[in-house]
Chain A
Amino acid sequence: MAEWQQNRARRDRRIEAGIKLAEGKIVAAGDATRLLEAVIQPGDRVCLEGDNQKQADLLSAALLAADPARLNTLHMVQSGVVLPAHLDLFERGIAKRLDYAYSGPQSARIAAMLFGGKIELGAVHTYLELFARYFIDLTPHVALIAAVSADRDGNLYTGPNTEDTPTVVEATAFKDGIVIAQVGEIVDHVPRVDIPGDRVHFVVDAGRPFFVEPLFTRDPALITETQILTAMLAIKGIYAPYGVRRLNHGIGFSTAAIELLLPTFGERLGLKGKIATHFALNPHPALIPAIEAGWVEQIHSFGSEVGMDGYIRARPDIYFTGSDGSLRSNRAFSQVAGLYACDMFIGSTLQIDLAGNSSTVTTSRVAGFGGAPNMGSDARGRRHPSEPWLKAGADADPVSPAPLRRGRKLVVQIGETFGEKNAPQFVERLDAIELADRLKLDLAPVMIYGDDVTHIVTEEGIANLLLCRSPAEREQAIRGVAGYTDVGLARDRKAVEGLRARGVICRPEDLGIDPLDADRSLLAARSIKDLVHWSGGLYDPPSRFRNW
């Protein structure tokens, strides 16, 4: 007779092996490595929770300390490869194969290890793809997760930085996997139950909070006049005409400038209530002035941000909060919201080619995708209409009958023609292609495909790619806003003037903007301290961002 419960039996044996080290579900931090050696088997698929912000840092150190003779050839399936320990696992042979989404801080080392064959790469995903595969063919055998606190039954409080945890646990616990959580403290009653205890098999008492990185704090003091100019162009030339209310912002300084211009420049244009009211967005401190000035109605967040907890707690009308009053974030849901419910994504990139493909990799760095492609792509499955979506669709296809015409999501690349270290943002050929050659990847790591991009904004102007009718036009439209980069200097000046006459290219003066008015005094906040003032003292920035 067929055996239909083998996985459950295996799970029970794993729990039995671990239970000896536990008191109930609770395991001392000092026994964490022994617990992992008892529960994990060589070759297992393991999700070591590394999100883009919070990290199961104690469990990753514990796994790294395991005996490679007992634990080896693991297949890591986690969204973020962020801590050095995440890669040390491969150096020690404990892990062998990797499927992931984001590796920002480790981008140089991961590239070297991929190139050196230390890591066997499954694929680099977007968040939603990896989460999706957790439920299809990359289901973890063991999930090592992080929470703020637990009670003795294993009920977890993940706090404001819930992030990936519910998704990871859902995939693991309901497919007979093992869930082990590190928590900052054991309490009698958790403030709210983010993960029910019956999905959690072991709780390791770390005795300290997990590591969180402040990734979304942009110091207004560092915003340049050029970034302010690009922000003015975007507000007046895209947000206003399309009436964009539901959107997602990237984390660059240009989008921070947009956030800080809403209550000043945006107010003067009479746009309050007409644009930027609903966001899929982390709690950006730079958005505080716009929130306080009454611009924003609602924000759903992927994760939290260090120092924002007090502010969020006091503004439940804006943010999603739990019964305890603190933020409830959820990366999977917010990514879905960014993909299907937002009319615009606007963000920065490192390189854009002549077709509008963009990439944040260089030849020596593999940063992964994170969530930008989920947000920065046209959702072909979308069916509900909205004004910006329909208008963008009409821009792209003025011919088809309206009832049969798809709308388009606005996917906007905003940035200065030259980036860090004077590197040009516009290139003939993406470094990503060379990287793909070197690593023998089937696909070059393109962050946003050219056919998804609708607008490019630089200090020279806006290129509306929806209005381009041929690849040649598209190329000249891109060259036409590429400034003094080689790509920009090689433009066909006459063709560019023609595109400008048709409104495909829009210069600052065409929008009634004098570049010399792009002054820092336009920013609603010019320092982190100003943000604290706007928040009424509720925002408590990390020490490294302070100058007081």
Chain B
Amino acid sequence: METLTIQLQAPQPARGRRAMAIVGVVGSGDLEVLAERVLAAEECHLEISTAIAGFGPVWQAVARDFVERRSPGGVRFSINDGGARPDIVAIRLAQAARLIEEDQPCT
């Protein structure tokens, strides 16, 4: 297992008030992303645990594009990776960002 931490600056804080969101499953070729609003508003961290070592630069590139596009400031993304390809990683990150920015459901 390899763990990676990527810390980036986000120009805008994530919208909404949800504390956390989770998407995806640690299945073959998939990953889970846990988003938690626990950081300072201009910070965005990705903590990655992956079974496939040696893809640091690719994770960096995916993370950079993701934060550039969605700017989810204040959110820490914790990732358990089951060997997902970068396109799936990008989709799950975007899904997690969208979900944590959704309004709280009425109960």
A residues in contact (CB < 8 Å) with B: 224-226, 416-418, 422, 459-460, 483-484, 489, 515-516, 518
Contact = CB atoms under 8 A, between A and B. Distances in A.
Given A484-B58, A489-B57, A516-B98, A422 B85 contact: yes
B62 interface: yes
A350 to B, nearest CB: 15
Given A484-B58, A489-B57, A489-B61, A226 B88 contact: yes
Contacts of A516: 91, 94-95, 98
A225 B88 CA distance: 8
A483 B83 contact: no
Interface centre among A416, A417, A422 (most CB of B within 10 A): A422
B70 to A, nearest CB: 11
Interface in B50-107: 52, 57-58, 61-62, 83, 85-88, 90-91, 94-95, 98
11 contacts: A226-B85, A226-B91, A417-B87, A422-B83, A460-B87, A483-B86, A483-B87, A484-B86, A489-B57, A515-B91, A516-B94
Nearest to B30: A224
A364 B64 CA distance: 36
Nearest to A418: B85
Interface string B36-48: 0000000000000
Instruction: Enumerate the 8 nearest inter-chain pairs by beta-carbon distance, A residue then B residue, closest first.
Output: A484-B86, A418-B85, A459-B87, A226-B87, A484-B58, A484-B61, A422-B85, A516-B94
A518 B95 CA distance: 11
Contacts of A515: 90-91, 94
Nearest to B85: A418
B68 to A, nearest CB: 12
A221 B83 CA distance: 20
Nearest to A509: B69
Contacts of A226: 85, 87-88, 91
B98 A417 contact: no
B81 to A, nearest CB: 12
A489 B95 CA distance: 23
Contacts of B86: 417-418, 483-484
Q: Which of B58, B83, B95, B98 has the most CB of A within 10 A?
A: B58
